[in-house]
Amino acid sequence: MKYLFMEPALPSGGSGLLKKHLNKMKQQQFSLRSRLDSFGFAFNGLYNFFKQEPNARIHLIATLTVFIAAV
């Protein structure tokens, strides 16, 4: 019961890794090449997912069937 009534801990300074990471992300500029690479990685992951998981293929076929029937 004593833990329910404890005062919250004071924030610590930490190592600053989060601030460094956020600053690094802010410094990166928009790159069309990096965006296209990201989409390529995503589609490759989806392809591998449907290739390796039989239940995913069944769900995909069922979803497409329902979608086509609704249209």
For 5-50, what is each residue's pLDDT tens digit? 666 665 555 667 777 777 776 666 678 888 899 999 999 999 999 9
What Å distances lie between residue 56 and 19, 39, 44, 70, CA to CA? 39, 20, 15, 21
The model carries a pTM of: 0.49
pLDDT at 3 over 70: no
Please tell me whether residue 21 adopts helix, strand or coil conformation.
helix
